[in-house]
């Protein structure tokens, strides 16, 4: 396992190791920001404006101001970080096991709607009962949504890339049905659910720093411990590195696949539940999220490592938190964030080019244990 904690090293060795791990993501981020700026300049004429080389600076200035410019902005960044952190941890866990879960969106949505359903069922209960039940309900909802593709991959060999995407669309339909049918607020003209009432997460800090944010950050050491200090974590990594070897060593790859997918889905479900109970408080038919793809970026940028994922989630969270101000002040659409993160990923994957350009030696090239992902594509069920 290359991920084992490093042995004692000299100071220069440590700096070298840190640079080795951080150089590629950092350079990718910087280059992506530059390319994003170029995109802003080049696309300004679409709106009939002339080329304005100040515009990227205005846009990024507003983005920074909206994400870390004030106490409220920082809290807002943390709030946007929380769901990305949880979902990203789940997707990173999947990467470790050689699974590519692109169903974060669906698992998040089902987690949120399950939390609403629990809150509705417990509308008279005290917060000390309603909150834990709704959070656990959301977690289980997300876990179930990921269990299905995991089970189908383990038993039938249906590749999770296709099935999880399908589950995303089924989640959208399910949500739309629940919100306009069984969970609809009676007498409301719009399809919305009732307020979550006592299940609403308390605000701990600032305007919107709810309990769910704290929970998300507390989950990080748990997942780290699970991955690197438990037998289960070892088995997950072993199955991801080489399913055949893991099987000969007496592990059960099929069970690991189902379990890993379910845990990942549970984390995404918890993210959805946290967001709904902490931010939205009720669900409308248009409830949706970009967490699914964002979390893939987070997991890849963080190299599937829980600590790396924290920093990656903070970056993406800051971008999501600052984007609205960027749109208001600089008139640059919030979708720029999608463009920038796509370019970050592009540079991360095309790392050979960056390493040649910047003459980086000894920098880790691979994105983590992802080699088996494409290898199991379309293959028969894993024994």
Q: Does 58 bind another protein (CB under 8 A)?
A: no
Instruction: State how far the Cα of 87 lies from the Cα of 272, in Å rounded to an integer.
Output: 9
Q: For another protein, give the closer residue by CB, 123 or 374.
A: 374
Smallest distance from another protein to CB 35, Å: 11
CA of residue 114 relative to chain centroid, distance: 19
Q: Does 293 bind another protein (CB under 8 A)?
A: yes
**Which residues have C-beta within 8 Å of that of residue 27, sequence separation ≥ 6?**
347, 354, 358
290 secondary structure, DSSP code: S
From candidates 32, 268, 345, 382, binder to another protein by CB under 8 A: 345
Smallest distance from another protein to CB 183, Å: 13
Q: Does 279 bind another protein (CB under 8 A)?
A: no
Q: Does 2 bind another protein (CB under 8 A)?
A: no
Q: Does 374 bind another protein (CB under 8 A)?
A: yes
Binding mask 151-170 for another protein (x = CB under 8 A): -x---xxxx-xxx-xxxxxx
If we measure between CA atoms, which residue out of 98, 136, 60 comes closest to residue 257? 98
From candidates 64, 74, 176, 224, binder to another protein by CB under 8 A: 176
Smallest distance from another protein to CB 21, Å: 19
Beta-strand runs (E) in the chain: 203-205, 209-210
Smallest distance from another protein to CB 123, Å: 24
Give the residue ranges of DSSP H helices in 44-126.
55-68, 71-96, 104-121
Q: Does 378 bind another protein (CB under 8 A)?
A: yes
3-state DSSP assignment of residue 192: strand
**Which residues have C-beta within 8 Å of that of residue 222, sequence separation ≥ 6?**
none
Q: For another protein, give the closer residue by CB, 249 or 350.
A: 350
**Which residues have C-beta within 8 Å of that of residue 377, sequence separation ≥ 6?**
159, 161
**Which residues have C-beta within 8 Å of that of residue 30, sequence separation ≥ 6?**
none
From candidates 57, 71, 377, 383, binder to another protein by CB under 8 A: 377
Q: Does 46 bind another protein (CB under 8 A)?
A: yes
Instruction: State how far the Cα of 96 lies from the Cα of 94, in Å rounded to an integer.
Output: 5
Q: Does 231 bind another protein (CB under 8 A)?
A: no
Smallest distance from another protein to CB 174, Å: 7
Smallest distance from another protein to CB 350, Å: 5
Q: Does 48 bind another protein (CB under 8 A)?
A: yes
If we measure between CA atoms, which residue out of 284, 289, 285, 286 comes closest to residue 269? 289
Smallest distance from another protein to CB 164, Å: 9
If we measure between CA atoms, which residue out of 238, 255, 237 comes closest to residue 246? 238
Q: Does 380 bind another protein (CB under 8 A)?
A: yes
Cβ atoms of 183 and 116 closer than 8 Å: yes
Binding mask 303-342 for another protein (x = CB under 8 A): ------------------------------x-xxxxx-xx
83 secondary structure, DSSP code: H
Q: Does 206 bind another protein (CB under 8 A)?
A: no
Stated length of the chain: 383
Cβ atoms of 310 and 299 closer than 8 Å: no
Contacting positions for another protein (CB under 8 A): 39, 43, 46-48, 100, 102, 148, 152, 156-159, 161-163, 165-170, 173-174, 176-177, 180-181, 293, 296-297, 300, 333, 335-339, 341-343, 345-346, 349-350, 352-353, 367, 370-371, 373-375, 377-381
């Amino acid at each position: 396992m290359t991920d084992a904690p490093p042995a004692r090293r000299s100071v220069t060795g440590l700096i070298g190791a840190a640079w080795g791990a951080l150089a590629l993501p950092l350079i990718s981020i910087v280059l992506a920001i530059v390319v994003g700026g170029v995109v802003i300049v080049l696309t300004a004429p679409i709106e009939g404006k002339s080329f304005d080389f100040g515009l990227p600076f205005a846009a990024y200035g507003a983005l920074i101001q909206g994400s870390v410019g004030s106490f409220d902005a920082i809290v807002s960044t943390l709030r946007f970080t929380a769901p990305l952190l949880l979902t990203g941890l789940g997707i990173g866990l999947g990467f470790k096991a050689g699974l590519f879960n692109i169903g974060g969106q669906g698992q998040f949505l089902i987690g949120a709607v399950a939390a609403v359903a629990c809150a509705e069922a417990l509308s008279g209960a005290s917060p000390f009962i309603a909150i834990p039940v709704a959070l656990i309900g959301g977690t289980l909802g997300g876990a179930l949504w990921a269990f299905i593709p995991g089970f189908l991959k383990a038993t039938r060999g249906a590749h999770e890339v296709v099935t999880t995407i399908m589950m995303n669309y089924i989640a959208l339909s399910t949500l739309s049905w629940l919100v306009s049918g069984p969970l609809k607020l009676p007498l409301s003209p719009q399809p919305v659910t009732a307020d979550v009432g006592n299940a609403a997460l308390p605000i701990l800090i600032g305007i919107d720093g709810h309990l769910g944010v704290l929970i998300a950050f507390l989950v990080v050491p748990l997942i780290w411990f699970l991955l690197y200090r438990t037998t289960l974590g070892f088995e997950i990594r072993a199955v991801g590195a080489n399913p055949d070897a893991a099987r000969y060593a007496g592990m059960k790859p099929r069970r690991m696949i189902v379990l890993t997918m379910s845990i990942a889905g549970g984390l995404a479900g918890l993210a959805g539940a946290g967001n709904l109970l902490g931010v939205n408080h009720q669900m409308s038919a248009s409830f949706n999220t970009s967490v699914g793809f964002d979390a893939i970026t987070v997991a890849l940028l963080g190299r599937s490592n829980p600590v790396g994922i924290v920093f990656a989630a903070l970056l993406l969270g800051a971008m999501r938190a600052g984007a609205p101000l960027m749109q208001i002040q600089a008139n640059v659409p919030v979708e720029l964030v999608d463009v920038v993160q796509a370019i970050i990923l592009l540079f991360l994957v095309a790392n050979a080019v960056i390493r040649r350009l910047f003459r980086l030696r000894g920098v880790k090239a691979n994105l983590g244990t992802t080699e088996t992902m494409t290898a199991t594509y379309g293959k028969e069920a894993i024994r």
